[in-house]
């Protein structure tokens, strides 16, 4: 999902509270905070020697002890407006960084109203060889991730 698509959906449902849905269907606690909106630029050389660059919009999500906190779509839309100078290309893909016993980045797959909430469904990102022709690596299908080996634990208290 791109920043443009994300903002359009948020604007269409400004009063709905947000709910993040992990790839295995588990829900991030409803009182999660979006603590950062960032543009992440990555410049790298792949294993075949080709220089590459990619950019995306990252939302950092954090769960605190503030159980009454709820983030509505309209408020996140306003925050994205404040971040507009950092996100000049609204075609950037959006991902979510979340700590569920480990820090992971999940691409934002979809955003839809469900039972009075706006569900942000997170997908899975896989690593891959970007130059299999130069490395001699045969193509393979991505393996499914077994999330049971990464139990979701509440984060440690801050401060």
Interstrand relation of 117-122 and 18-21 (parallel, antiparallel or unpaired): parallel
**What residues make up the domain containing 41?**
3-149
Residue 84 belongs to some domain of the structure:
yes
User: Where does 14-153 show beta strands of DSSP type E?
Assistant: 18-21, 32-45, 51-63, 94-99, 103-114, 117-122
Residue 155 belongs to some domain of the structure:
no
Domain count, the chain: 1
Query: Which residues, 6+ apart, have CB-to-CB distance to 57 below 8 Å?
Result: 3, 6, 37, 38, 39, 40, 83, 87, 92, 93, 94, 95
Q: What is the pTM of this model?
A: 0.83
CB 19 within 8 A of CB 28: yes
pLDDT tens digits in sequence order for the chain, 159 residues long: 999 999 999 999 999 999 999 999 999 999 999 999 999 999 999 988 999 999 999 999 999 888 887 899 999 999 999 999 999 888 999 999 999 778 999 999 999 999 999 999 999 988 888 888 887 777 666 666 665 555 555 555 555
Residue 132 belongs to some domain of the structure:
yes
DSSP string, 34-67: EEEEEEEEEEEE-TTS-EEEEEEEEEEEEE-S-T
Residue 156 belongs to some domain of the structure:
no
Residue 26 belongs to some domain of the structure:
yes
Left (φ > 0), alpha (ψ -120 to 50) or beta: where does 114 sit?
A: beta
Element containing residue 159 per DSSP (H, E): none
Residue 81 belongs to some domain of the structure:
yes
Residue 97 belongs to some domain of the structure:
yes
CB atoms inside a 10 Å sphere around CB 75? 15
Residue 158 belongs to some domain of the structure:
no
Q: What was the pLDDT predicted at 127?
A: 84
């Amino acid at each position: 999902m791109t920043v443009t698509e994300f903002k359009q959906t948020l604007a269409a449902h400004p009063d709905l509270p947000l709910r993040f849905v992990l790839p295995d269907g588990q829900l991030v606690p409803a009182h999660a905070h979006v603590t950062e909106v960032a543009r992440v630029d990555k410049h790298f050389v792949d294993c075949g020697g080709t220089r590459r660059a990619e950019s995306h919009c990252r939302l950092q999500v954090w769960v605190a002890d503030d159980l009454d906190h709820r983030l509505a779509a309209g408020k996140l839309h306003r925050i994205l407006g404040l971040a507009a100078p950092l996100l000049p290309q609204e075609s950037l893909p959006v991902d979510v960084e979340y700590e569920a016993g480990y820090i992971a980045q999940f691409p934002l797959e979809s955003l839809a109203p469900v039972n009075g909430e706006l569900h942000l469904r997170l997908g899975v990102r896989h690593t891959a060889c970007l130059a299999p022709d130069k490395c001699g690596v045969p193509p393979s299908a991505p393996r499914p991730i077994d999330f049971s080996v990464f139990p979701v634990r509440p984060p440690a208290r801050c401060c």
